[in-house]
Amino acid sequence: MLEVIDFSKKYRNNKDYSARHISFSVSAGEVVGLVGSNGAGKSTIIKSVIGVLPFSEGTIKVGGYDIVKQPEQAKKLIGYVPDDHSVYEKLTGREYINYIGSLYGATVAQKKFITDDLAVRFEIAHALDTQIAGYSHGMRQKICILGALTHEPKLWILDEPMVGLDHQTMALLCDYIRGYADSEHCVLFSSHNLDVVKRTCDKVIFIKNGEIAGTADLKAQSDFDLNGYYTELNGGERDA
């Protein structure tokens, strides 16, 4: 579903690359985590995958569609949860879900599932008819999550999705991510929380200084020491 092939990204006026020679794939049924310290390049990779950041080196394909040459077809397959709670504050939660769903061609049944089922599970149903401007950080994160799922995307991408969430909601989201992938979708997310990564991911890609520093197949190596490897990778310092 996702192919990143020898991708590199350098911001204008920057001497160094923010991401360099990145290659990996995500298949249906998989949850893949991007792990790395602040500034490692995780968000640059994600924002390039979803088509927000332009790049000139390498290829990114979603469902076989090139994100540069066939952006509309590729983006229709993606659901994206940003790390900054970006939402339309003047809309109510219900209006936001319906609007995002309409942009992606979600069916009435798909939007109804979000408002009548997922909103209840994520304990935000009571606020759906309230303007988002009055939401807390955690509630904004929840509405971003629900909005990204309105069209049942084949590829669900989350950038630091646990920010602002309480422990109970984090556990719920972990379980939902796992279940979503198990229903023949795929998930790519970045996180500093190694416990979440260990609980949720099939594969982990370690990013350091804009490059892939290592990978781990947690499905094949259930006893893999994620914490120890990450600490060693960062010279004995763990910031996750």
pLDDT band at 22 (very low <50, low <70, confident <90, very high): very high
pLDDT (0 to 100) of residue 237: 52
Residue-wise over 173-209: b if at least 16 C-beta within 10 A, else e?
bbebbeebbeeebbbbbbbbbbebbbbbbbbbbbbbe
pTM: 0.92
> Strands 186-190, 31-35: parallel, antiparallel or unpaired by DSSP?
parallel
What residue has token string 């990114």? Answer: 60
pLDDT band at 151 (very low <50, low <70, confident <90, very high): very high
Average pLDDT, the chain: 92
Torsion of CA 146, 119, 101, 149, to 10 degrees: 40
The answer to whether residue 235 scores a pLDDT higher than 80 is no
Instruction: Provide the percentage of residues in the chain whose pLDDT is more than 90.
Output: 79
Least confident of 128-132, 139-143, 159-163, 174-178: 159-163
Residues 16-21: contacts with CB within 8 Å, 24+ apart? 16/210, 17/210, 18/44, 18/210, 19/44, 19/45, 19/48, 19/210, 19/211, 20/210, 20/211, 21/58, 21/211, 21/212
Domains annotated on the chain, with CATH: 2-233 (3.40.50.300)
* Among 182, 215, 211, residue whose Cα is nearest residue 197: 215
Least confident of 3-12, 42-51, 116-125, 157-166: 157-166
What residue has token string 């520093």? Answer: 213
- 239 phi-psi bin (left φ>0, alpha ψ -120 to 50, beta other): alpha
The answer to whether residue 99 scores a pLDDT higher than 70 is yes
Average confidence (pLDDT) over 34-41:
89
The answer to whether residue 238 scores a pLDDT higher than 60 is no
> Using one digit for the tens of pLDDT, what is the confidence trace for 177-204?
999 999 999 999 998 889 999 999 999 9
* Among 1, 46, 61, residue whose Cα is nearest residue 160: 46
pLDDT (0 to 100) of residue 236: 58
The answer to whether residue 15 scores a pLDDT higher than 90 is no
pLDDT (0 to 100) of residue 172: 95
**Sheet arrangement for strand 203-208:** 78-81, 155-159, 186-190, 31-35, 203-208, 211-217
The answer to whether residue 28 scores a pLDDT higher than 60 is yes
pLDDT band at 64 (very low <50, low <70, confident <90, very high): very high
The answer to whether residue 239 scores a pLDDT higher than 50 is no
Radius of gyration from C-alpha coordinates of the chain: 18
Average confidence (pLDDT) over 78-99:
92
**Start-to-end CA span in the chain (Å):** 28
Token pair listed for 213: 């520093």
Task: Judge contact between 195 and 173, C-beta under 8 A.
Answer: no
Task: Judge contact between 131 and 94, C-beta under 8 A.
Answer: no
* Among 179, 213, 183, residue whose Cα is nearest residue 199: 179
